[in-house]
C-alpha cells in the first residue's frame, strides 16, 4: 500500500472546479512530479493531499489512516511531525536568523536550542549556505533563501516532503542544488517527495509524473530512465 494516496478528489471554489475526481499516490522514497499548466489544479491537489484543504469529495489515506476521519488537532499534529513543506513565497520568519528559521520546527517539537541549532548548521552546510546562518532572510539572495527553506523543511526529517515550485525563483545552478538535496533525501532517508512544477527540467528528477489538466489527473506515467 502507498504511504500517501487519494481517490476521487473533487474540490470546487465558488463556480471554479479546481479538482475533478483526481487520483494520487506516492510511496516512501519516491519522487513524484505533479505537472500541468498554471491553473490546472496542481497546488489544490498538493494542499488537499497534505491535509491543508478539505476536499468536497474523495478520500486521502496516509499510512493506513484517512485524513478526513482525523480531528483538526490530529491533522495539524500529523503535518507538523510527518510532513515538510517548501513553498515558493513567504516561508521564512523575517525576524529570525536563517539558522533560527531552520531550527524553529525542531524547537516547536521541544528540541533544545543547542541541538536544534547544531542540526540547523549541519543542514545549512549540506546546502552550501553556512555563510548566511546568522543573517536574516531579508538580507540574503533568492537562491540562498530557497535553500534555507529546503533546510527548514528537512529539519524534522519528514516522511513526506511537499514542494510547490521549489526551484521557481532560482537560476539553474541553485535549482540543481535544491533538486539534488530533495532527491538525495528520498534516496538516503526514504522521504517521499511530492514536487509540484510546470518545468520539464525539474520533473526530470522524479521517478514518476502525475499530469493535471483542468482538475483531472490524466496520466500517471512512469518516466523511462
| Of the candidate residues 6, 25, 32, 44, the single one contacting ligand ADP (CB under 6 A) | 44
- Return the closest-CA partner of residue 161 out of 127, 142, 187, 138: 187
Q: Give the whole-angstrom CA distance, residue 8 versus residue 43.
A: 17
CA distances 8 to 5, 85, 196, Å, are 11, 24, 19
Stretch that binds ligand ADP, among 37-45, 55-63, 72-80, 146-154 (CB under 6 A): 37-45
Pick between residue 131 and residue 142 the one whose CB is nearest to ligand ADP: 142
- H/E run at residue 204: none
Residue closer to ligand ADP (CB basis): 125 or 200: 200
Tell whether residue 39 is a contact of ligand ADP (CB under 6 A): yes
Residue 173 phi, psi dihedral angles, 5° rounding: -65, -45
Among 43, 101, 146, 206, binds ligand ADP (CB under 6 A): 43
The region of 39-47, 104-112, 132-140, 186-194 touching ligand ADP under the rule CB under 6 A is: 39-47
**Subset of residues 64 to 103 that bind ligand ADP, contact rule: CB under 6 A:** 88
Output the CA torsion sign for 105, 3, 183, 24.
negative
Q: Does the footprint of ligand ADP cover residue 36 (CB under 6 A)?
A: yes
| Stretch of 11-19, 103-111, 129-137, 148-156 contacting ligand ADP, by CB under 6 A | 11-19
Strand segments (E) across the chain: 4-13, 16-26, 31-35, 57-62, 65-66, 83-86, 160-164, 192-197, 208-213, 216-222
Residues that bind ligand ADP (CB under 6 A): 13, 16, 18, 36, 38-44, 88, 164-165
Amino acid at each position: 500500500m502507498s504511504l500517501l494516496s487519494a481517490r476521487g478528489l473533487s474540490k470546487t471554489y465558488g463556480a471554479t472546479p479546481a479538482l475533478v475526481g483526481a487520483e494520487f499516490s506516492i510511496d516512501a522514497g519516491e519522487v513524484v512530479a505533479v505537472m500541468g499548466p498554471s491553473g490546472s489544479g496542481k497546488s489544490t491537489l498538493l494542499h488537499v493531499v497534505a491535509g491543508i484543504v478539505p476536499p468536497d469529495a474523495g478520500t486521502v489515506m496516509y499510512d493506513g489512516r484517512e485524513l478526513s476521519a482525523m480531528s483538526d488537532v490530529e491533522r495539524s499534529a500529523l503535518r507538523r511531525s510527518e510532513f515538510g513543506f517548501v513553498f515558493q513565497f513567504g516561508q521564512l520568519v523575517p525576524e529570525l536568523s536563517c539558522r533560527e528559521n531552520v531550527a524553529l520546527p525542531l524547537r516547536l517539537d521541544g528540541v533544545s536550542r543547542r541541538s536544534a541549532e547544531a542540526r540547523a548548521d549541519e543542514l545549512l552546510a549540506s546546502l552550501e549556505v553556512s555563510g548566511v546562518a546568522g543573517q536574516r532572510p531579508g538580507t540574503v539572495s533568492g537562491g540562498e533563501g530557497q535553500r534555507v527553506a529546503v533546510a527548514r523543511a528537512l529539519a524534522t526529517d519528514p516522511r513526506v516532503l511537499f514542494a510547490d515550485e521549489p526551484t521557481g525563483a532560482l537560476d539553474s545552478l541553485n535549482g540543481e542544488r535544491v533538486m539534488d538535496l530533495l532527491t538525495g533525501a528520498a534516496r538516503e532517508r526514504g522521504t517521499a517527495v511530492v514536487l509540484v512544477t510546470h518545468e520539464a527540467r525539474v520533473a526530470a528528477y522524479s521517478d514518476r509524473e502525475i499530469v493535471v489538466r483542468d482538475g483531472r489527473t490524466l496520466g500517471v506515467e512512469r518516466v523511462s530512465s
